[in-house]
Amino acid sequence: MSTDLHAAPAAAADLRSVPRAPGRIPLLGHAWPLWRRPLDFLRALPDTGDLVRVDLGTMPVYFATSPSLVHELLVVRAREFDKGRFFDRARVLVGDGLFTAGEEVHRRHRRLMQPMFHRDRIAAYVDTMSARARALADSWQPGQTVSLTEAIYTYAVGTLSETMFSTDIDKATSDAIHREVPILIKYALVRAVAPTAFDRIPVKANREFDRATERVLGIIDDLIAAAHARGPAAGGDLLSTLLAARDADTGESLTDREVRDESVAIMFAGTETAATALSWLFHEIGRAPEVEERLCAEIDAVVGDGPVGMAELAKLPYLNQVMDEVFRLHAVPLLMRRAIRDVEFAGFRLPAGTEIGFSLYAMHQDGRVHDDPLRFDPDRWSPENRATRPRETHIPFGAGVRKCIGDTYARTEIAVAVATILSRWRLRPEPGVTVREVAAAVAHPDRLPMIVEPRTR
């Protein structure tokens, strides 16, 4: 046996030696298991290895399944990878916004937009979030069965309209957002894994996606026109700030097309993503009475019967643990990157153009990282437990330079709604109803009827 401590490192292996996920079908690749049971398929990938080949038709995608590899991809080697196929397919909707932009455009836009999401700006929106949450709580009656996903979505759309557009969006527009955005979320995952030629096939999925895209882009164009008509003096909202932003170095502003691209991405994050996380949170605590009891006790002690503000949010550590556990269990199923040059990654040689996939949903539920990973347990995020877990094992909003710019906005909106609602109501699961997780760009409950019961102290 050699004992040479200065031996050269092992040469990078050829990609042909990457283990392939089970279930491949000739020509279709792994499209069938991804179509039938996408969440189960993604969650099982770590069983095959840290880097796993998945074939989308005849195109290979190499999935990084371990937190260390995902961290290397997003943070350590970020400049060697750009947005991949998933984001290419999203450009029909969000153009070259932060969500899809290449490195140069991303850097410029993020620098322009960062002040909009500063903690001080978000603090200014808390009163709006709180008032909207109180209005939602006021609309319920004891014993009422509510469709929670519908109610929470209405809250999210109303909050976004006031903070982003400085206006109450009329009911027709609100209903259109509520109807069209979930369609886009539903089919985005299908289009990401389907061959490009699929987009031209006149099937229902494509007809609905194209119609919803046209409608949402039209809504944003109308809102931008209204913001121009109001003028810069009106500008306390996100959209006016975006229109008025100027690059500190060049003095350049964003074009209306660029503003539209960024606004669509903000609309997704501020409606679908936030509403889905809130729905899952109430579903999870509705099945965990001991968690709900502890959470309500904390809210009672800090909030009482008063409104929820930034000062109160800072004193709700257990609520943050509950949110982090919900984010862990219900993360984004699929994201992708593409090598922009020949690179060595995970011990393999990746030619330029190689597609790398990763699933925050699967990574956060990996049994190598979490004991009993499917169990809802907010104590995973207690200060002492959090200190023992590497930060890269929990990245619900991404990591590195591409981390979601609206993470603090989303956390604040969710926390305000939870603290406001639980100060007055308990939400009980409707007996006999099984809630199923629906795979989409953001996995959501298929339905969530809950019974409203008054809180007693």
Query: How remote is the C-alpha of 24 from its chain's centroid?
Result: 29
Residue 400 tokens, joined: 């590195």
Contact 365, 70 (CB under 8 A): no
Rg (the chain; Cα; Å): 23
**Domains in the chain and their CATH numbers?**
15-454 (1.10.630.10)
d(CA 66, CA 258): 35
Contacting residues for 312 by C-beta, under 8 A, at least 6 apart: 302, 303, 306, 419
**pLDDT, tens digit only, all 457 positions of the chain:** 333 443 334 567 889 899 999 999 988 899 888 888 999 999 999 999 999 999 988 889 999 999 999 999 999 999 999 887 666 665 666 566 666 666 777 777 787 777 778 888 888 889 989 999 999 999 999 999 999 999 998 898 888 888 877 666 677 887 788 788 778 777 776 776 666 666 677 788 788 888 888 888 888 888 888 878 776 655 567 777 778 877 777 777 788 888 888 888 788 777 888 899 999 999 999 999 999 999 999 999 999 888 899 999 999 999 999 999 999 999 999 888 999 999 999 999 999 999 999 999 999 999 989 999 999 999 999 999 999 989 999 999 999 888 888 888 899 999 999 999 999 999 999 999 999 999 887 889 999 999 999 987 6
89 by Cβ neighbours in 10 Å (0-12 / 13-18 / 19+) ranks as buried
Give the contacts of 16 (CB within 8 A, at least 6 positions apart): none
